[in-house]
Structure 1
Amino acid sequence: MVNGGTLNPDAVVVPAVSVASVRRALYVRLRRLALGNYYRLVHLNYDRELLATRQQTRGGTVRSYELYNRHGRDEMLAALEARCGPESVVYDVGANVGVYALALAAGEPDRHVVAVEPAPVVADQLSANVRANGFGDRIAVRRCGLGAESGERDFCVSTYTELSGFDRASATRWEADVAAVEPVPVERLDDLIAEAAPPDVIKIDVEGEAASVLRGGRDTLERHRPTILLEPHSDGLDGAEPDVCRELLTDAGYEIAVQDDFWIAEPTSTSAIT
């Protein structure tokens, strides 16, 4: 403040606040409120198995306790469906509540899906959706994570369940909080297929852990040469995952086609390049 041409030392200087920053703060608060309420309602629906709605997906119509058709029309799901035959074995790594697994099983009774989900609550929701569709003979739910080494790791359960992961940074994106930290089993992909049929196609969406999945599946990539659809994550994370995944796939003899939000990795030959 200027009083008679001099600076008033008692004046309070209020910093200018841009309209953009106010709008951003309001948007963040509204998003947190909306998502928080949505997840609370969805958890109630799953817990009591009240309403399994019919939802149209790229693979056909399924029932789900989700309250809206989340990811059912995704381009990645369309690309995955296009690369699966009627009797394909598909590994859905990071299956979440089963959107992709259900869609892939919907129209093909002889297709087999191994749905891998480490989050205990989410794996329960996945199992509920499998039951609602009567797909117990088509979808095998594996309650574990996949990584470079077998063992046990702490898993961060997010208040926005789809963000849950082994990395706290992943679980706290979009203003979410870590609701709990629970130890979960982790297996190598190479060990997992010793107990099941080898994959024709693998989908990987694991919130920043894709490189670990690939490291634990080196033998699978070299011997069985599955097609891989991978969603590389860098949003809110350290940003290194895409580069590491690209190197691992290239070294294993895969050619990568980059789409808007995911990669399609096809083997360049029937055996790995050495």
Structure 2
Amino acid sequence: MLMKREAGMTEFAGDFEALFDGAMTRYAFERPSIARWWESHCSEPNVNIALQELVQPGDTCFDVGSFIGGLAIIMARLTGPRGKVVLFEGNQHILSQLTWNMIRSHLTNTFIVNKIIWEESDLNMYLSHNSIAPAASRVCSDEASDPHAIRVGRSLALDDFVAEHSMLPDVVKMDIEGSEYYALRGFKKTISEKKPVLILEQNVGDDRCLELLSDMDYKIFDSAGLHAVRSSNDYLEGTTIRNVIAIHASALGRYNLHNPVQKRKICSLDPLKAEVEVDSQGVVYSTFRMKLSRGRYLFVLSLDAKDCVVASEIWVNGTIQTKFYETAKLFSQDCRDMMALVHKDCEVVYKVLQVQKSSENGYMKINSVDIISIDAPLNFKSRSTLV
């Protein structure tokens, strides 16, 4: 069941843009595949930072819904040669790219499991494949739920995997497009025994995971603002997807998460004072520069945009720390708040980009950018590359 990388498996090399049927932009995929382990990898910003805070050397990590492995590489770096990362990915359309990315990163502590994670093992599973955004493809155990779904294999319950391979996870990242609740139901025995830290993507309005974990004495926090989450009412208004961190009550002291997080808006950036430029590819950059003292900050963007791809970047002391890109609609809903860690007083640069128009009517207008200081309960940690 475990498929370990082999150095000679070069047949898995492929053209990433071709895999996505040419639907993504030049900016989004400026390399043929994701950053290797020794390079900066700063997408999925809030989850990225959470992993850096929570994964420890020697940990066993599960990456459930690995996509092409960007966050798995981060976990592999952090857990080091004494740890291991198991990548669960059931989508055959992206499996070859995931495998190739592990190969080219020369990691020795990653393993791929090509199974669809569900509440029971050995069920026939069906995939509603999204050719425009393969990461958003959804699975189900009932063929009738989508007449166009195709059978893609058998399911696997995480409790069964743990029992068979004796791998008890310390940290679990789970992003499986709305199937997290079913995966957790098949993981309850391990959760009860090991009490791993969980980082989950959640659909706003579906509180089943929150209720299940609360019943198991987990405390849940928003990955961006680090405030407590009890229901969808606690998410940023207007969002449809959020990532949360779930930590068992018995482990809260390890992360200093006893007290409520204190937040304070320190300023609002004036869109009229942004430095605006257009590059040779037609990408429009709106750049804000500021001096910030050591601390943790949340950048909250409000914008109007249509028929384009929007991206945002945060540069700290001359180095890019986080970036994210998405279509205008999804960005304005779900990618508006990005966390930044400032380790010393320095210049911070915040950029908002209009990357590509999909029609002549495409546009982007920045309304405001609020900078919020977070009195963060998670301590800064100094880490070195371990693999």
TM-score after normalising by structure 2: 0.48
- What residue is the counterpart of 1:161 in the other structure? 134
1:127-146 to structure 2, matched below 5 A, reads 127-135=99-107, 137-146=108-117
Q: Taking structure 1 as reference, are residues 200 and 55 closer, same or farther at Cα in structure 2, changes over 3 Å only?
A: same
Matched, 1:228 2:192: no
Structure 1 Cα separation of the partners of residues 64 and 245 of structure 2: 15
Amino acid at match of 1:259: S
Structure 1 Cα separation of the partners of residues 38 and 83 of structure 2: 14
Amino acid at match of 2:114: R
Count of residues in Structure 1 that have an aligned counterpart in Structure 2 = 204
Percent identical: 25
Amino acid at match of 1:201: V
Structure 2 Cα separation of the partners of residues 264 and 225 of structure 1: 13
Q: Deviations over 1:202-260 (max 9, x none)?
A: 011110001001100010110001000111024xxxx42xx100111011110111234
- What residue is the counterpart of 1:124 in the other structure? 96
Amino acid at match of 1:55: A
Amino acid at match of 1:119: N
1:110-121 to structure 2, matched below 5 A, reads 110-121=82-93
Q: Deviations over 1:139-188 (max 9, x none)?
A: 110001111111221112210211111159xxxxxxxxx98623222111
Structure 1 Cα separation of the partners of residues 208 and 18 of structure 2: 36
Residue 109 of structure 1, CA deviation? 2.9
Structure 2 Cα separation of the partners of residues 205 and 154 of structure 1: 17
Contact 1:60 1:103 in 2 (8 A): no
RMSD: 2.9
Amino acid at match of 2:100: A
Q: Taking structure 1 as reference, are residues 60 and 81 closer, same or farther at Cα in structure 2, changes over 3 Å only?
A: farther
Match for residue 217 of structure 1 among 187, 197, 222: 187
Contact 1:61 1:103 in 2 (8 A): no
Amino acid at match of 1:146: I
Structure 2 Cα separation of the partners of residues 133 and 106 of structure 1: 10
- Say which structure is richer in helix: 1
1:172-211 to structure 2, matched below 5 A, reads 181-194=150-163, 195-211=165-181
1:24-173 to structure 2, matched below 5 A, reads 39-41=20-22, 52=32, 55=35, 60-61=38-39, 72=43, 74-106=45-77, 108-135=80-107, 137-151=108-122, 152-159=124-131, 160-166=133-139
Residue range with higher mean Cα deviation, 83-92 or 108-117: 108-117
Structure 1 Cα separation of the partners of residues 44 and 155 of structure 2: 30
Match for residue 246 of structure 1 among 189, 207, 210: 210
Which stretches in structure 2 are left out of the alignment for 5+ residues?
Answer: 1-16, 25-30, 142-146, 225-241, 252-387
Q: SS state of the match for residue 220, structure 1? A: helix
Which stretches in structure 1 are left out of the alignment for 5+ residues?
Answer: 1-35, 44-50, 63-68, 169-177
Q: Taking structure 1 as reference, are residues 189 and 113 closer, same or farther at Cα in structure 2, changes over 3 Å only?
A: same
Contact 2:92 2:152 in 1 (8 A): no
Residue 263 of structure 1, CA deviation? 0.8
Contact 1:88 1:112 in 2 (8 A): yes
Residue range with higher mean Cα deviation, 77-86 or 207-216: 77-86
Q: Taking structure 1 as reference, are residues 54 and 206 closer, same or farther at Cα in structure 2, changes over 3 Å only?
A: closer
Amino acid at match of 2:192: E
Contact 2:34 2:101 in 1 (8 A): no
Contact 1:255 1:267 in 2 (8 A): yes
Residue 130 of structure 1, CA deviation? 0.6
Contact 1:76 1:262 in 2 (8 A): yes
- Say which structure is richer in strand: 2
- What residue is the counterpart of 2:248 in the other structure? 267
Structure 2 Cα separation of the partners of residues 103 and 97 of structure 1: 12
Residue 262 of structure 1, CA deviation? 1.1
Residue 81 of structure 1, CA deviation? 2.2
Q: Taking structure 1 as reference, are residues 184 and 53 closer, same or farther at Cα in structure 2, changes over 3 Å only?
A: closer
Contact 2:126 2:149 in 1 (8 A): no
- Report runs of 4+ in structure 1 exceeding 4 Å deviation: 51-54
Structure 1 Cα separation of the partners of residues 52 and 213 of structure 2: 21
Structure 2 Cα separation of the partners of residues 128 and 167 of structure 1: 27
Q: Taking structure 1 as reference, are residues 90 and 131 closer, same or farther at Cα in structure 2, changes over 3 Å only?
A: same
Q: SS state of the match for residue 256, structure 1? A: strand
Residue 75 of structure 1, CA deviation? 1.4
Structure showing greater Rg: 1
